[in-house]
Chains A and B, each alone.
Chain A
């Protein structure tokens, strides 16, 4: 069970969500690492995705593999995940606006 305070995505989680938002069909863990340009590492990607799954922002889809090994899971962003990304981006815009407004207000003084 995740508390409401913990539902806020962290910075690295937000990066992962943004990458997944660009890929509606879903992406593998290593694809996300490759696209993040060093923002997320291979060793921590599944911890992040696990946390996102726990929060309900990401859905894990099982696939079939062409080789006899284990199939790689595909991670797909959920509607909640999209809403979380939008909310975070909106919050950043509002915060920037308020900071700029404060600076403008202070400037003549």
Chain B
């Protein structure tokens, strides 16, 4: 393959596919934006290709791709770890007996007495996490449960009492 042709192809708009073709073990490379790829390439070009003549372009290109792959792979791995951590933090805690609550309470009662407690629990949980207080966040969940259960029991008793008294009267 002619060097000029190689250069032309390398500088075409389809550069991402070209890099993917040369480095077949980097499937996640396709997720990077053109801007990110270009920045990486420029950085690597400065270190690898600098001082080399045009006829060495093909070899340099392969070296560049290999180095690019390594950098991208490391970055993706670190990003993956960050992503897992973020996902764990961002999930709001839920009540494992939420289905039971919804089944035994009227929707209006659920909305009026249970939802504000859950909202408070979420607020405390996320404020603790923002301060990196994991123990506090766990305690916020436990406390939220402790406040929801009595409200639920009392509202159930109230409903039962109202039904019984309603029948008697």
The chain A residues found within 8 Å of chain B, CB to CB, are 28-30, 42-43, 46-47, 49-50, 53, 65, 67-73
Contact = CB atoms under 8 A, between A and B. Distances in A.
B125 A73 contact: no
A70 B150 contact: no
Interface residues of B, number: 21
B147 A70 contact: no
A42 to B, nearest CB: 6
Contacts, number: 53
Interface string B99-140: 000000000000011011111111101100000000000000
Contacts of B113: 46-47, 50
B30 interface: no
A30 B120 contact: yes
A69 B116 contact: no
Contacts of B147: 42-43
A53 B116 CA distance: 14
A57 B91 CA distance: 36
A65 B117 CA distance: 15
A64 to B, nearest CB: 12
Contacts of B123: 65, 67, 69, 72
Contacts of B92: 67-70
A5 B112 CA distance: 23
Interface of B: 90-93, 112-113, 115-123, 125-126, 147, 150-151, 154
A76 to B, nearest CB: 14
Contacts of A49: 116
24 contacts: A30-B120, A43-B150, A46-B116, A46-B151, A47-B113, A47-B151, A47-B154, A50-B113, A53-B112, A65-B123, A67-B92, A68-B91, A68-B126, A69-B93, A69-B118, A69-B119, A70-B118, A70-B122, A71-B119, A72-B116, A72-B120, A73-B115, A73-B116, A73-B119
Contacts of A43: 147, 150-151
Contact of B112 (A50, A68, A71): A50
